Structure 1
């Protein structure tokens, strides 16, 4: 008499396979990133996951298709320190730009010799005879096509927070930071200069007789603080924030390093985040009264 078990096993296997096929027919598994994102949206609608979780998961999926070239700060807009610069001027530049780390060059901007942490400059106060070169740390160089997930792993493995991005010819294309990569997942990260608790924006005086002004500062507050009239070229257009006004005047989203003069003030873009200007550097400039008089003549 034959054992009935072998005959029953295929029947059970067939039933499971049929059930799987039925489930897949009714709820097909996503096969592309777009389909997976749509599935996440459906899960959010059904209260399976929270909105914040869905957004973060979507960003992780989208980041898989991004490279260092997609988020880098272009080389012409990099704030770099020249190792041969006078120490006092070097410190003033660090204070003015307010970054925590800088690419260090020697001579040409493409000749990057390392990275300098702003906090390391404090060591010069204790040891004035210390050679600045001893404070410069090795730079991490990555290609433009480095995918962000691999870059994130490299940042964690090497404990670096900044990478210099080079093009296919070995020239400096720009830089990217650990924070830039993380923001692709969690969204914008507020730093110590951000003013989330201050809805009216903020204005900080700097050591070189200039100011840091947040892009969301109301125009009225800027005008009051600097005792000047700040208005655009089109009297029919009304704007609430200084960032919105300057973007309108330029005709495009301001880029880092761009400048515009309004009401006797020179606004220079220091830092962009989330597609908007986070910080301007503001300096007073003399009115071109002589030039205007010459034109009138």
Structure 2
């Protein structure tokens, strides 16, 4: 009885086809991303397949972004710092401490460049029992950590953790104080804005964070944006500033992408696979906009 040639051929090819399929599967697992973009594509694919949720994806993207950012991009500028002078009495500086709600304060001498140290709010608690008599602010100071504007955030975060400090003063290229940064500022770049019980609840669409920088919700009505900034963005095609920004990008932007619209530079702080949620707007000069190429 002769064998069926087709049956024999099929039997011989089966192991070969099986091996090929297995090799392809192993190759997919063995391949490693060669760039940050490839890694993000893999992670986003996992999110699309519900392996990770959107919040986890945003945190992963935030952690990757931190390695690309420098301190100058997130620091609290000098003009917004709450400082205490070393010759102030408790009666003079305590109202500032209470009003700000901060836990750490730079203490300065004759100017903001003359940093004497850091005062912790918790070290002022003995004043409740002992009173202000004999208080010496110098004896309460902690060492101030000084860092350059160019330091990478991932490096600084590691230093914060290893050395167990929470604030650093930032200096510019000339050695002057240009701002400060806290561990919370870095963590907010990773997980989003952190609010605590001292933060005021607000439904405001726009919040000023420095002389030229603003945080705004993408759902800010264009009419409200125009009223706040005295601009004339058209609301004929879109109702919200997020619509204008998305059109300017020409695609749904990812976190930290930037675009110039009018006199503003917009940076995406938070977005998902459906829409932009939070933006940082910076007023710029016309020459800066033209030089950027956007």
Provide TM-score, normalisation by structure 1.
0.59
Aligned equivalents of 2:69, 2:160: Cα separation in 1: 16
Corresponding residue SS for 1:108: coil
Equivalence for 1:145: 150
**Which residue of 32, 47, 50 corresponds with 1:44?**
47
Contact preservation (8 Å) 2:118, 2:143: yes
* 2:13 matches 1:19: no
Aligned to 2:98: 95
Deviations 1:227-285 (A, max 9, x none): xxxxxxxxxxxxx99xx9588324489xxxxxxxxxxxxxxxxxxx9658xxxxxxxxx
Instruction: Say which of 228, 243, 249 aligns to 1:249.
Output: 228
| Aligned-pair CA distance for 1:215 | 5.3
Unaligned runs of 5+ in 2: 1-18, 206-218, 232-240, 242-269, 271-277, 281-294
User: Structure 1 residue 86 and structure 2 residue 89: aligned?
Assistant: yes
1:193 aligned partner: 198
Task: State the shift of 1:74 in Å.
Answer: 0.9
Distance 2:226 2:176 in 1: 31
1:130 to 130, 135, 138: 135
Query: Could you list the per-position Cα deviations for residues 23-44 of structure 1 after superposition, in whole angstroms to 9, with x for gaps in the alignment?
Result: 35x9964322122212211111
> 1:88-136: CA deviations, max 9, x gaps?
1111111222211111101111111111112222223333313111111
Hey, what's the Cα distance between the residues in 2 that align with 1:168 and 1:58? 30
1:33 aligned residue: 36
Count of aligned positions: 201
SS in 1 for 2:117: strand
Match of 1:155 among 155, 160, 163: 160
Provide the TM-score with structure 2 as the length reference. Answer: 0.60
From the superposition, tell whether residues 154 and 27 of structure 1 become closer, same or farther in structure 2 (CA, over 3 Å). Answer: closer
Question: Offset of 1:169 from its aligned partner?
Answer: 2.2
Give distance in 2, aligned partners of 1:132 and 1:124: 11
**What's the CA shift for 1:179?**
0.4
Counterparts of 1:74 and 1:62, CA distance in 2 = 21
Q: Which residue of 102, 107, 118 maps to 1:104?
A: 107
- CA distance in 2: counterparts of 1:90 and 1:178, whole angstroms: 24
Q: CA RMSD in A?
A: 3.4
What SS does the aligned partner of 1:110 have? coil
Residues 1:35 and 1:125: Cα distance change in structure 2 (over 3 Å):
same
Give the conservation status (yes or no) of the 8 Å contact 2:101–2:198. no
